[in-house]
Structure 1
Amino acid sequence: MTNQATVKKITIKEVAKDAGVSVAAVSKVIRNAYGVSPALRKKVELSIKVLGYRPNTSARGMRGKTFTIGVLIAGLGNAYLPKLLEKINATIEKSDFKMLIGLGQGELSIESSLIESMIDNNVDGLILVAPRLSGTALEKYAKQIPMTVIGHVEDTAVSFDTINGDDYLGAQLATKALINTGVENVKMISLLLREFDEFDLNRERERGFLATLKEANISNGAEDRIFRSSDNEEQLRKDLNLFLDDIKTPCAIFCWSDIHAVPLLDECQKRHLVPQKDVFIIGYDNTPIASYAVVNLSSIDQQAEVQGELAADAILERIKGRSEAKHCQVAPTLIARKTH
């Protein structure tokens, strides 16, 4: 028998061991993933060069679909999410895909880690719901994997699709309804500004609010009419009480979300402020709790199910090969119960 010399193929595990890092870290460097530090890249690239590692690109291209779609959500606190997620799941299941949910907890580092983990686990596409990441970061990830984003108002993005409600119009509908009560002391409770907020849907709601005040000729000191609060439950209650300590009644209040509107209504009731006399409140998202008789809150319905179906259809099209960006906007409606 003739002995034949064999050349041992270097594996990604050996590169990781030589560099003293994880396999996932090596994968990120190879994929040019977002968030890799220069020091980590230099260390891994040196090990690749010394060991002579060559990624098996042909195997990577032949791996085929996993029939999974990753869905990243910022948190579980918004009751708007269940209808959205249910519709996404129902739509992709018709094409034999399954949904994997990642919880970003509103942290940039966690969101980035989850996206990279989903990419490493070969999901076929990603749907991101109200991500905290910047447009630049989203573009970088979208060049690695098909991506659709909900709640990120960037209709100029070229590498990923966006699905949004018309938040500017929604704010207009709410603000006009409050102005029609005859109350001139109209205010908005919004979220605290973030580092990357240029394409945040809440900025669109603020713009719609301010524009409507201007149209009604009650825009003097308009910026002062916006009160920004945390979405942390404990801090929110403190912020709302500070807000109520300072308001003059009667007051009409547009809340960026039912997340703020329902606790605000609760705090008003503790202070014996009379609905439709002392305070008028309209929320956003038309979450199930808004329709409860004890709450009975008017709210803007941004058609969660429609957005979910559009997002699912968009990511399936991306997976099938569509490369041109698609940007969809869904018209909201005002669900008028009583303007509390």
Structure 2
Amino acid sequence: MMEQLKRATISDVAEHAGVSRAAVSKVLRNAYGVSPAMRTKVEESMTLLNYRPLALARGMRGNSYTLGVFLVDLSNTFFSVLVEGIRDVAEELGYQVLIGQARHGLDAQQKLIEAMIDRRMDGLLLIAPFGPNEELEKLGRSIPVVVLGRHGPAQYFDTVASDDIAGSALIVDHLVSLGHERISMLANTQPDSEPGMPQTVRRQGYDTAMEKHGLAEHIDHVPGRWGYESGLEAGRSIANRPLAKRPTALHGGADVAALGAFTSLFDAGIRIPADISLVGYDNVPSASLPPIGLTTVDQSGVQMGRQAAELLLSRIEGRSESEHVLIPPKLIVRKTTSKPSPQVTTS
């Protein structure tokens, strides 16, 4: 049986012709400013590589050279980092990126996604969408889709996510190495969490790491959502606990929630890290500000966005096999973690 040849992509054509991917995109779009020599060189490479840009599929979608980015929470600045990576790749190939934000809730999400499809976008990048995988699979059968944040597997769409199991383990391992045992987590225990959602996987990683260190009795999920206001509420609930019931360290779940908890704990007179060590997740730009210095997990947001855009463009070009990418996380140690004080541990 003959091995099936790998389908040529825009990147393959660009490398063969010795030009940029943007130049190949301009030739495909008959864009202004392409010299006859450039066009000839690119078209010869397309012929030699048997490159086919799926003109029929593009024509059915209107050949818009537009990618839709869906997200729910504009207040989470990590999402803007993802969009930066998406935009970088899209602009290299002459695509425009249009961003749509929906309110919380499946109905609002579905209406916005349908509006993007109606506007004949060539593909969709969905950042941490809600709802069952079955709905995403149905969507992926009608238009190229890549989902950021959620984990695979899936048959009709691709996923790009941080290795959230490993990320939570980095946090727990770091805190345990400092001497902490009473480690809680802002767990985002919302009822609509699907198995592959980041809040579900990070919570599993936290539980597994705590059990590995023999700290199962100290597993503590502080409920709420991963937003600044929920972080404030979670911090207040921890501050209101009796001293002996308070954690000495807190896995913040996401930077936006960790910063909310930081604020309310500070307002309650609880010192960070002397009284409670705090770790975020995402490494948003504000986490590195000197007055904060949040210890956090860096999941390479720009890289995630670029990877997702690359996958979407290859789907638009005709790839049908699903791909699921996990980005290795890295712990960034700053000022909000330290050894627990003797007074805290013995209370």
- TM-score tier by shorter-chain length is 0.7 to 0.9
Q: Which amino acid aligns with 1:240?
A: G
TM-score by length of 1: 0.78
User: Partner residue of 1:109?
Assistant: 107
State which of 258, 262, 287 in structure 2 corresponds to 1:261.
Answer: 258
Kindly indicate whether the alpha-carbon contact (under 8 Å) linking 2:195 and 2:201 is maintained by their aligned counterparts in 1: no
State which of 202, 207, 210 in structure 1 corresponds to 2:204.
Answer: 207
Q: 1:250 to 1:189 in 2, by over 3 A?
A: closer
Kindly indicate whether the alpha-carbon contact (under 8 Å) linking 2:127 and 2:147 is maintained by their aligned counterparts in 1: yes
User: Partner residue of 1:292?
Assistant: 289
Q: 1:34-62: CA deviations, max 9, x gaps?
A: xxxxxxxxxxxxxxxxxxxxxxxx99955
Q: Give the 5 Å matches for 1:278-317.
A: 278-317=275-314
CA drift at 1:272: 2.2
* 1:220 aligned counterpart, secondary structure: helix
2:315 is the counterpart of 1:318? yes
CA distance in 2 between partners of 1:259 and 1:63 (Å): 37
State which of 239, 242, 263 in structure 1 corresponds to 2:237.
Answer: 242
* 2:316 aligned counterpart, secondary structure: helix
Q: Which amino acid aligns with 2:131?
A: L
Q: 1:295 to 1:60 in 2, by over 3 A?
A: closer
CA distance in 2 between partners of 1:59 and 1:88 (Å): 22
* 1:144 aligned counterpart, secondary structure: coil
CA distance in 1 between partners of 2:229 and 2:287 (Å): 21
Deviates more, 1:249-258 or 1:168-177: 249-258
State which of 322, 325, 329 in structure 1 corresponds to 2:326.
Answer: 329
Q: 1:334 to 1:236 in 2, by over 3 A?
A: closer
Q: 1:157-188: CA deviations, max 9, x gaps?
A: 00000000101100000111111121211111
Q: Which runs of 4+ in 1 moved over 3 A?
A: 58-64, 230-236, 247-250
CA distance in 1 between partners of 2:323 and 2:333 (Å): 32
Q: Which runs of 5+ in 1 are unaligned?
A: 1-57
User: Partner residue of 2:170?
Assistant: 173
CA drift at 1:301: 0.6
User: Partner residue of 2:186?
Assistant: 189
State which of 65, 68, 75 in structure 2 corresponds to 1:67.
Answer: 65
Q: 1:294-340: CA deviations, max 9, x gaps?
A: 11110001110110110000000000000000111100100101234
User: Partner residue of 1:219?
Assistant: 216
User: Partner residue of 2:77?
Assistant: 79
Q: Which amino acid aligns with 2:262?
A: L
Q: Which amino acid aligns with 1:177?
A: H
Q: Which amino acid aligns with 2:222?
A: F
TM-score by length of 2: 0.76
Kindly indicate whether the alpha-carbon contact (under 8 Å) linking 2:187 and 2:221 is maintained by their aligned counterparts in 1: yes
User: Partner residue of 1:228?
Assistant: 223
CA distance in 2 between partners of 1:291 and 1:282 (Å): 12
CA distance in 2 between partners of 1:230 and 1:59 (Å): 40
CA drift at 1:236: 4.4
CA drift at 1:258: 1.0
CA distance in 1 between partners of 2:224 and 2:208 (Å): 21
* 2:258 aligned counterpart, secondary structure: helix
CA drift at 1:244: 2.0
CA distance in 2 between partners of 1:59 and 1:132 (Å): 28
CA distance in 2 between partners of 1:60 and 1:158 (Å): 22
Kindly indicate whether the alpha-carbon contact (under 8 Å) linking 2:235 and 2:265 is maintained by their aligned counterparts in 1: no
Q: Which runs of 5+ in 2 are unaligned?
A: 1-55, 338-347
Structure with greater Cα Rg: 1
Kindly indicate whether the alpha-carbon contact (under 8 Å) linking 1:285 and 1:302 is maintained by their aligned counterparts in 2: yes
Deviates more, 1:185-194 or 1:144-153: 185-194
Kindly indicate whether the alpha-carbon contact (under 8 Å) linking 1:134 and 1:196 is maintained by their aligned counterparts in 2: no
Kindly indicate whether the alpha-carbon contact (under 8 Å) linking 2:234 and 2:261 is maintained by their aligned counterparts in 1: no
User: Partner residue of 2:29?
Assistant: none
CA drift at 1:250: 6.1
CA distance in 1 between partners of 2:181 and 2:61 (Å): 62
User: Partner residue of 1:118?
Assistant: 116
What is the percentage of aligned positions where both structures have the same residue? 30
